[in-house]
Amino acid sequence: MHSDAYTFRFAAIVTIVCSVLLAGAATILKPRQVENEELDMKKNILVSAGISSGQGSFTRSEINQLYEKNIKGLVVNKDGKLAEGKTPDQIDPEKDTDLLPLYEYVKDGKVSAYIAPISGKGLWSTIYGYIALSPDCGTVEGITFYKHGETPGLGGEISKTWFSDNFKGKRIYDDSGKLVSIAVAKGKYTGNEPQHNVDGISGATLTGRGVSKFLKTELEKYSPFFAGVRSQEGGKE
């Protein structure tokens, strides 16, 4: 029978070996994880802009090719001015608190959409996504909610196509030019402003309420830039 000292030494050695192996695996896999996160970001920017794969689902090479061909990364400050020489990947969230990432979908030499990252609290988690707006920054071209921890079958439905498709064609400004964003209704929307509202998810009222709140907050951050674009476009819808 082994002594207590032997058992302790054996357990310590096993723990140390496992720790070293796990640390090594994490270090080796880190570049791949970073690459996967970058690919996921690019894919969701493409999806929000309505850019699809010819094969039904994106391959890794397709994501990079389509992104390189169609998407241009910009950085704007909170006054709505472009930060020349900066790209979204150069923003340090800890230091560059006055800078915002933004993306252009450029087709045939013209801007077809502006794409902004969005995030905020749902019911159980922080929800991340992208929203694409028309060239005049007034109409939703597409939206994705791709990372969250909401309840599967309830709030988790926000990542489904049937829900995100509800946002297409909705307007974020009212007739007076005020930014009103898009609100998620409690169940089916039956009011008289369908252009600013979408149907909610049954049983997920608090998730929908969270989306409504943070979507407006995120859009307001970009409102100075949107206002500049709209003044050039004449504020048309």
* pLDDT tens for each residue of 56-105: 678 888 999 999 999 999 999 999 999 888 899 899 888 888 999 999 99
Question: Which residue stretches of the chain have pLDDT < 70?
Answer: 1-8, 10-11, 20-34, 54-56, 233-237
Instruction: Say whether 15 sits in a helix, a strand or coil.
Output: helix
- pLDDT of 33 reads 62
Residue-wise burial string across 66-80, b where 16 or more C-beta atoms lie within 10 A, e elsewhere: bbeebbebbbbeeee
Q: Residue 13: left (phi > 0), alpha (psi -120 to 50), or beta?
A: alpha
- pLDDT of 24 reads 65
Residue 96's φ and ψ, nearest 5 degrees, are: -90, 60
CB contact at 8 A, 140 and 147: no
The number of helices, as runs of H, and strands, as runs of E, in the chain is: 5, 7
Name the β-bridge partners of 100: 76
Name the β-bridge partners of 133: 114, 140
What is the domain partition of the chain in residue ranges?
Answer: 46-233
Residue 189, token pair as written in the block: 């929307």
Helices 4-48 and 60-70 pack at an angle, to 10 degrees, of 40
Nearest by Cα to 99 from 125, 80, 72: 80
According to DSSP, the β-strands at 140-147 and 183-184 are unpaired
DSSP 187: S
Cα atoms in the Cβ-side hemisphere of radius 13 Å centred on 223: 14
Nearest by Cα to 207 from 153, 156, 161, 147: 156
Give dist(CA 217, CA 227) in Å, integer: 16
Give dist(CA 116, CA 91) in Å, integer: 14
Instruction: Say whether 231 sits in a helix, a strand or coil.
Output: helix
